[in-house]
Chains A and B, each alone.
Chain A
Amino acid sequence: MLAIVKREFRAYFRTPLGYVFVSAFFFFSGYYFYTYNIYGNTTNMSRLFELLFPVVLFLVPVLTMRLISEEKRSGTDQLLLTAPLSRGAIVLGKYVAASLVFLIAISATMLQALVMALYAAPHWPTILGNFIGLFLLGTALIAICMFLSSLTESQVIAAVAGFVVSLFLMLVDALALVVNQRLLQSFFRNVSFNRRYAPFSLGLLELPHVIYFLSIAALFVCLTTAMLDRERWG
């Protein structure tokens, strides 16, 4: 599995994709940091983390779009699938590599906190809680989008499908308000990423929400593996 992580991680930075993703994230977090923390003269980063929610939702599909679709299109998956490692290890390797790139991108917020720490005393536990929340949100979404990438041979379709899922996750709170059916209401409310993520940005580390994001990630990593297996037997 380590071989896959290594190659995949390198591939991100062998092509422009890794740089574009990281710099886009740095740009947005830098902008929000400037407007809310520097200009607003506060060490409270909660607003910044709150605003990064839609940024993550729109950037992650770009990060994951080629993960599996590109291998299928070019035929390089043949080497991986005939190598002595399980399909689960291949999927997990790719997932870990994408998560690492994501981690590098969101480390921007930690740099900003460090900069603030030079001049004031930020509340570290809150910031750390925020950071963990952002990471969990990202890794859950990476798993979903990686699964989407395993459904198609086209990077573009994988990305568009990712955006649709992201948009749905953004709108799902509003949906919960407009439907009047009890069951649907509670479904939309419980599936909402925003409702789960909000407590993190307030600095609350609630176990159910942590478990929710972790199980979403685990579920979609397993589904991706199942998808590769299905193709084998199809």
Chain B
Amino acid sequence: MIHVHALTKRYGAKLALDDVSFDVQAGDVLGLLGLNGAGKSTAMNIITGYIGATSGTVTVDGHDIAQAPPAAKRVMGYLPERLAFYDEMRVREYLDFVCDLKKVRVGRERHVAAICEKVGIAHVTDRVIRNLSKGFRQRLGFAQALIGEPKVLILDEPTSGLDPAQITEIRSLIQDVGKDSAVVISSHILSEIQSVCTRVVVLHEGRLLVDDTPGNLGRTAKASHRVVARIQGDPARVRAVLSGEPRIEKVRRTAQGEADAYEYLIEGVRDQDIRAIVFRALAKADLPLLSMHSGETSLEQVFLQLIAEQS
């Protein structure tokens, strides 16, 4: 559905995108993951035809976005990162205008009503956009992208600024539309990508680092050789017991959790699950283990890890 080939974008001396290629099939939900400034929005802006690429090609449903923009844009719905509306318009009027732009004529009334129902703005269609809350504006942006039943949906940070309940709603909506269209979502939140995407592309400083399934990326991110544990007892003893284990490399006390109990960051040999080892060692020494979870690796750490692996 979307075919991105050797995409490069240069802003003066800065290389925003460097030879990025990937494909998205119908039924795929592709997550573009990266830190701020990694090139996610640039890639999306090029795919949607908002800006041009320095070199490389993008074809959407067989139409080249640079050669035949109207044909390519006709099958696309786009939710930009920076939402902007004509604030003086009413919701209904705005969606009508988008229908005009996308040349949706037959059954427009029903189509718009169905979309409003789906994204939960059916009761605010008479409101002036200026008076909408952030959550409703985001939903309106989503509704606007869905008009014309696009085969390709480009969603730039679709859940930013929403509350947890709304995030869940939007996620299930994405999964719903992802069944028969090709969807590209950008985010800098790993868990978000993991929960909705079937594939993940990681960008870092304009380069493509990984094109993989979320499961595989998750394994990298959730390193079980690193755990955070809350242990009761004398810190010196805890350290002595744990350091005595051959497969544990590092023990660091991080915070005092409760009276008489501390939190420790325990690191083992790489690619080694140390949870059972920690448990047994502490049990043998009669040091109560109050809680233990695998050390959350932040996205930054995943990147550093990925970059390290690359070089």
A14 an interface residue at 8 Å Cβ cutoff?
yes
- Please tell me the number of chain B residues within 8 Å of chain A, measured between CB atoms: 28
From the candidates A7, A74, A75, A84, name the one contacting B97 in the complex (CB within 8 A). A7
Are B88 and A11 in contact (CB-based, < 8 A)? Answer: yes
0/1 per residue, A1-38, Cβ < 8 Å to B? 01100110001001100000000000000000000000
Residues of chain A lying within 8 A (CB to CB) of residue B240: none
B259 an interface residue at 8 Å Cβ cutoff?
no
B72's nearest neighbour on chain A, judged by CB, is A84
B103 shortest CB reach to chain A, Å: 7
B51 shortest CB reach to chain A, Å: 6
Are A83 and B73 in contact (CB-based, < 8 A)? Answer: yes
Q: In whole angstroms, what is the CA distance A85 to B148 when docked?
A: 14
From the candidates B69, B74, B84, B103, name the one contacting A74 in the complex (CB within 8 A). B84
B235 an interface residue at 8 Å Cβ cutoff?
no
Q: In whole angstroms, what is the CA distance A14 to B128 when docked?
A: 12
Tell me if A's interface is mostly helix, strand, loop or mixed.
helix
0/1 per residue, B94-119, Cβ < 8 Å to A? 00011011110000000000000000
Q: In whole angstroms, what is the CA distance A226 to B82 when docked?
A: 25
Q: Provided the pairs A15-B88, A84-B74 are in contact, do residues A79 and B103 lie with their beta carbons within 8 angstroms?
A: no
A76 an interface residue at 8 Å Cβ cutoff?
yes
- Please tell me the number of chain A residues within 8 Å of chain B, measured between CB atoms: 22
Are A3 and B85 in contact (CB-based, < 8 A)? Answer: no
Are A82 and B73 in contact (CB-based, < 8 A)? Answer: yes
A2 shortest CB reach to chain B, Å: 7
A215 an interface residue at 8 Å Cβ cutoff?
no
Residues of chain A lying within 8 A (CB to CB) of residue B89: 7, 14
From the candidates A3, A81, A85, name the one contacting B50 in the complex (CB within 8 A). A81
Q: In whole angstroms, what is the CA distance A60 to B83 when docked?
A: 30
From the candidates B52, B70, B103, name the one contacting A232 in the complex (CB within 8 A). B52
Q: In whole angstroms, what is the CA distance A15 to B86 when docked?
A: 11
Are A76 and B85 in contact (CB-based, < 8 A)? Answer: yes
B34 an interface residue at 8 Å Cβ cutoff?
no
A7's nearest neighbour on chain B, judged by CB, is B97
A233 an interface residue at 8 Å Cβ cutoff?
yes
A75's nearest neighbour on chain B, judged by CB, is B84
Are B86 and A75 in contact (CB-based, < 8 A)? Answer: no
From the candidates A11, A14, A75, A83, name the one contacting B102 in the complex (CB within 8 A). A83
A78 an interface residue at 8 Å Cβ cutoff?
yes
From the candidates B69, B86, B88, B103, name the one contacting A86 in the complex (CB within 8 A). B69
Are A79 and B144 in contact (CB-based, < 8 A)? Answer: yes
Are B49 and A81 in contact (CB-based, < 8 A)? Answer: yes
Residues of chain B lying within 8 A (CB to CB) of residue A75: 80, 82-84
B75's nearest neighbour on chain A, judged by CB, is A84
A binding-site residues for B, Cβ under 8 Å? 2-3, 6-7, 11, 14-15, 74-76, 78-86, 231-233
In the assembled complex, 18 residue pairs joining A and B whose CB atoms fall closer than 8 Å, in A order, are A3-B97, A7-B97, A7-B100, A14-B88, A74-B87, A75-B80, A75-B83, A75-B84, A76-B84, A78-B50, A79-B98, A81-B50, A82-B73, A84-B69, A84-B71, A86-B69, A86-B70, A232-B51
